[in-house]
Amino acid sequence: MILCITPNPAIDRTLIVPDLSLGNVHRAERVIVAAGGKGLNVARTIQTLGGKQLCMGFLGGDHGRLLADLAQSEGINSSWTWINAETRTCTILISQTGDATLINEPGMPVSKSDWARLQGDIREHIAAAGLVCISGSLPPNFTSDDLRGLLEMLMSSGKQVWADTSGIALDVILTYPGICIKVNGDEIGKSIGFEVNDVKSAKRASRILIERGMPACIVTLGARGALLATQIGRWYVQPPRVRVVSTVGSGDSFMGGLLNARDNGRAWPEALCEAIAAGTANALSEGGGHFTLHECKEIQSQVEVETW
């Protein structure tokens, strides 16, 4: 089982509109309402690929109850920490003229005691987990101490921990050499102080992270592919060209594909191949983590991994 922690989940409302321009009235052709947040997309991907997962994080209010119901209706296993606040809603606009436009609400305030309860709730389930991931943004009033307390508890469990976040949260995580990270070029570039926008700069960033003692790190570059570096090897993969509908959630699907493969004992190169296939399959339709196993397998058959 893979434990997927999402500290700042959301109701995702995806509106499909024929065209999009600021200052005009638009009528949506379709509306998709789903349990959202990066960890939910990771879990949805793991479920699609046949793996087992458990989602945890903060929920509150009417929107929180709706999110829990939506997750349950999809068959996503979850155990939530309930707080006295209202879960956020995020709006995703998808048109035929370009990729998605996201409007993300900041999230709900979380108290010190709420963080302590989340840690306690996680302790009850972590023994059954093979891998752990913490994904996405953190509540707007979090402190470094809040995150450090959670990270230290996770690492003390002896489980391999993966993180996918940005900004201050990523800066804190990078001070823990035992944590594996998955980031895009823009996110890691802001944290280590130089632009990461191509394979050459991603290799430089990966070397720095491995030299700091990270067990494994992945830098994704969108259509340019992804680089994986570990203490025993380094690999690069590029996705096949597809007709992109929306890239929202592709990074999360990448993470889900990687973790599911590793949880099933697959070697790093094969896991990287499955990850890029899941991330690419996600881009074929609207909504994070919404693709079929057949689509993923078909893309995976077109992918080759090379060492670097």
Q: What confidence tier does 99 reach under pLDDT thresholds 50, 70, 90?
A: low
Q: What confidence tier does 288 reach under pLDDT thresholds 50, 70, 90?
A: confident
Question: Is 285 within the bounds of a domain?
Answer: yes
Question: Is 237 within the bounds of a domain?
Answer: yes
Question: Is 224 within the bounds of a domain?
Answer: yes
Q: Where do runs of H (alpha helix) occur along the chain?
A: 38-48, 61-73, 112-123, 144-156, 167-173, 185-192, 199-211, 250-263, 268-282, 293-300
Question: Average pLDDT of the chain?
Answer: 95
Sequence length of the chain is 308
Looking at residue 273, which CATH number applies to its domain? 3.40.1190.20
Per-residue pLDDT reduced to its tens digit, 117-163:
999 999 999 999 999 999 999 999 999 999 999 999 999 999 999 99
Lowest mean pLDDT among 39-43, 93-97, 196-200: 93-97
How many beta carbons lie within 10 A of that of residue 167, not counting itself?
12
What's the pLDDT score for residue 98? Answer: 64
Q: Give the mean model confidence (pLDDT) for residues 56-79.
A: 97
- How many folded domains does the chain comprise? 1
DSSP H or E run through 32: strand 30-36
Q: What confidence tier does 191 reach under pLDDT thresholds 50, 70, 90?
A: very high
160 vs 171: CA distance, rounded Å = 19
Domain that holds residue 254: 2-17+30-307
